[in-house]
Amino acid sequence: MLGYLVLLVSAVFAGLLGGLLGIGGGIVIMPVLRFLFGIPTPFAAGTTALAVFFTTLTGGYKHVRMGHVDIRSLLPLMAVGAVSTAFFSFLFMFFAERPLWLELGVGCVFLVISLRMILEGFFPSADRPRGSAGAIQSRGPAKVALGFVSGMLPGLFGIGTGAVLVPAFTYCLNSPIKVAIGSSLVCFSVNAFISSVIKIFQGFVLPDKALFLCIGTAVGAWLGARLNRGFPSSLLKLLFGLAFFYIALKYIFLFLGKQL
């Protein structure tokens, strides 16, 4: 029973972080399943993908209601992202049979995410309101490229693309930070849905764990999206960037330790 309580609390926190910072929350759930519960990485990734879907769906819906998202401007990115997610989800089977390489991949992704969060913690991005409210302003090729990249992480590792989409929307496409966060959650909700459905059929989702995770992430994402209105996230990014940096190294050294 204590284990399920830990899952529920972790899920609420993951959803809170997702709704607040525009990430899926998988960066919290994955290490909890892998290191606290000892679940093999392929099953941790599959179960995380389903939980992250509820984070992005709830948080994205809340941001849409607050006027931070123009779905029409995201349609090209979402369409390409859906195809990319399906492709990499089937490629996931190859890595599931080689879990050490999957752990190395997760560790490297976590390393990039943690460094980005630490950088954002020290140098918060300025909000630059340009263009229509909630609209992502860019040409088609840029959205196609971002859509392809956004499908890789959920398809292969079951974790979110906020670490890619939020800075891309903010720095490359000059979107306000709240628009970037909301748009990231909406785009990733489609990717997470496709990834989780495929991983359910592949047998990599643990139903008992997923139930508590889905409930917790939905509640946390709703709260996080509400807090996003005026919460200074730079300190939060710095603290958790440092924590996730440690987790990334743990994954990488786990791989290296079994190789040597």
- 226-236 pLDDT, tens per residue? 776 666 667 66
Q: Which one has a higher pLDDT value, 59 or 8?
A: 8
- 176-219 pLDDT, tens per residue? 777 887 888 888 889 889 999 999 999 999 998 988 998 988 88
pTM exceeds 0.85: no
Nearest residue to 79 via CA among 148, 172, 180, 159: 148
pLDDT at 130: 47
Q: What is the mean pLDDT of the chain?
A: 80
pLDDT at 239: 67
User: 84 pLDDT exceeds 50?
Assistant: yes
Residue 67 is given by DSSP the state T
Residues 6+ apart with CB under 8 A from 116: 163, 167, 241
